[in-house]
Chains A and B, each alone.
Chain A
Amino acid sequence: MTDASLEFEIQPSSGVPIYRQIMDQVRALAASQRLRSDELLPSIRQLAADLEVNMMTVSKAYARLEAEGVLERVRGTGMRVRATKAAGTAAERQKELQPLAEAMVTRALQLNLSEKQILSIVRTVLLERQAWLK
């Protein structure tokens, strides 16, 4: 097993499809900086062999993470965590978040949630993420 493969723990008999377990774990590894942006992920073949799962499962997880912008393909060498662009002024970075916030608020209002309830969800997610990073 490669070092990075050891970071993964797959439960095939969970109700969560294996590709989604891999996606969740890559996201968590990236968010917690345990996978740094200059590090290559194990190849599809390698990770599939290490986890003893179908290669298509790993391929699907990587492709979706690439589409989400979590991973990027490095030509000829493999996949790595995409460096988070933290450039720009605070105002510019806030603006980048705006469309996501709009989508969330639209959905929240459809669900009849109050302002307090919406803000409490954001706070919960944020606290969870900060706990991860520690």
Chain B
Amino acid sequence: MAEIIAEIIIDVEHLTKNYGANPVLKGVNLKIPQGAVVGLMGMNGSGKSTLIKCLLGLLHGDGGRATVLGCDSQNLSPAAKGRLGYVPQVVYLYAWMKVRHVIAYTASFYPNWDHAWTSELAARWRVPLDARVQTLSTGQLQTVAIVLALGHRPEVLVLDEPVASLDPVARRDFLKSLLEMTGQGSRTALFSTHISSDLERVATHVAILSDGRIAYFSELDELKDRVKRLRLRRSAAFPADFAVPGSLRTKVEGSSALAAVAHVTPELLDELRQRWQADVRVEDLNLEEIFVELNSHD
């Protein structure tokens, strides 16, 4: 599956966006191939929502360009919109409507709406169909938004913090549905999240937004295979300015050193062992640790 050269579904080139004098996106480049499930990570205020909104044409970028399904984001055709599903971070629905009517109303815009599937999803997530929107909790609103976004079985799913307000059970159910939908390898998903453990199950790729740019974009497995923490120990003290070549940071304490390295190679390990006569231990990092290492600048 992964070997097939896939079509680029989401294509962002040099995208910039300023809020007044404040640049948020400083030239984002991102090419998402068909079938990828991309977790978009970034610190608060890094521009994840802004990027997502620019992709969907809900915000206009100041420079560069973005296309989804080959269609310019600033001018998405109804056909392209019909192939997209979007869960916003903040859900706005008519407060006075009953949930089942909101679903029926949304369905009426889509010729290919799958009523059986939405009923199944609603049951799975215990969506209170006869409650009015204004009585729903934040988490319930989010599940309604997810049902609305998935109902036409979109080819491209864009989700902005889809699970932030969900309880652990609902979150797990959501991830299962996402896996079911993307499992065939034809659907593409981009979702932003703070919860890296969710991402580790479902994502094929990770994109890290930092300082207005995509600092890292690769397959999740590849990221885990190459970002490592090295623990070095030798008989004599390391020089105070010792740094592992290419490391994100190195901490020295006498004869011990700790370094996070973005790209570990056997050659690097050999060099360290020989040049410093050091014992080098390689530690695996999970996604949360990788994210912290890639974002710490000290």
The answer to whether A54 and B221 touch across the interface, beta carbons within 8 angstroms, is: no
A55: chain B residues within 8 A (beta carbon) = 1, 179, 183-185
Q: How far is the CB of B266 from chain A (nearest CB, A)?
A: 10
Contact residues, B167-196 vs A (CB, 8 A): 172, 175-176, 179-180, 182-185, 196
The answer to whether A53 and B201 touch across the interface, beta carbons within 8 angstroms, is: yes
Instruction: Judge if A56 is at the interface, Cβ distance under 8 Å.
Output: yes
Instruction: Judge if B279 is at the interface, Cβ distance under 8 Å.
Output: no
The answer to whether B201 and A52 touch across the interface, beta carbons within 8 angstroms, is: yes
Instruction: Judge if A59 is at the interface, Cβ distance under 8 Å.
Output: yes
Interface segment out of the listed B52-60, B132-140, B282-290: B282-290
Instruction: Judge if B37 is at the interface, Cβ distance under 8 Å.
Output: yes
A110: chain B residues within 8 A (beta carbon) = 270
The answer to whether A52 and B220 touch across the interface, beta carbons within 8 angstroms, is: no
B175: chain A residues within 8 A (beta carbon) = 52
Instruction: Judge if A91 is at the interface, Cβ distance under 8 Å.
Output: no
A20: chain B residues within 8 A (beta carbon) = 221, 225
The answer to whether B183 and A48 touch across the interface, beta carbons within 8 angstroms, is: yes
The answer to whether B224 and A16 touch across the interface, beta carbons within 8 angstroms, is: yes
B185: chain A residues within 8 A (beta carbon) = 55-56
Tell me if A's interface is mostly helix, strand, loop or mixed: helix
Instruction: Judge if A14 is at the interface, Cβ distance under 8 Å.
Output: yes
Q: How far is the CB of B285 from chain A (nearest CB, A)?
A: 5
B285: chain A residues within 8 A (beta carbon) = 15
Q: A17-B225, A56-B35 known; 17 other A-B pairs, CB under 8 Å?
A: A13-B197, A13-B287, A48-B179, A49-B179, A49-B180, A52-B172, A52-B175, A53-B179, A54-B37, A54-B183, A54-B201, A55-B179, A55-B185, A56-B1, A56-B204, A57-B221, A110-B270
14 CB contacts below 8 A, A to B, read A12-B197, A12-B200, A15-B224, A15-B285, A15-B286, A17-B221, A18-B221, A20-B221, A53-B201, A53-B202, A54-B179, A56-B1, A56-B185, A111-B270
